[in-house]
Amino acid sequence: MITVIASIRVKAGKIEAFLDIMKANLPYVLQEEGCIEYSPTVDLETGLPTQRLDANVVTLVEKWESVECLHAHLKAPHIAAYRAKTKDMVEEMTIRVLKRA
């Protein structure tokens, strides 16, 4: 199993529209072979001194059975459609692909 942490910086004022599109795509992703978890999250204020908050970032937590499943996910037609709908909303995206230590 692998874990993917995607950090998506959304343009100011676009976060709700972006999340609506992402949430509409969730059922399709969750049906993909090898998808264990696919959860969009946003920062929660906790008062912890080391926490860095950013209201314009969506952190996507994904779990996949394998790297091959992740590669197939990235080629899925519904992901291409999602990217087309959100391309003008996204400023930057970075990912980390992790394995259990």
The CATH number linked to 21 is: 3.30.70.100
- What's the whole-number average pLDDT of the chain? 97
Which pTM does this prediction carry? 0.92
Residues 6+ apart with CB under 8 A from 76: 28, 29, 32
Q: What is the average pLDDT across 3-29? A: 98
Segment 53-95, tens digit of pLDDT: 999 999 999 999 999 999 999 999 999 999 999 999 999 999 9
Number of domains in the chain: 1
What domain range is 30 assigned to?
A: 2-44+52-99
For residue 21, give the nearest of 72, 70, 67, 89 by alpha carbon. 89
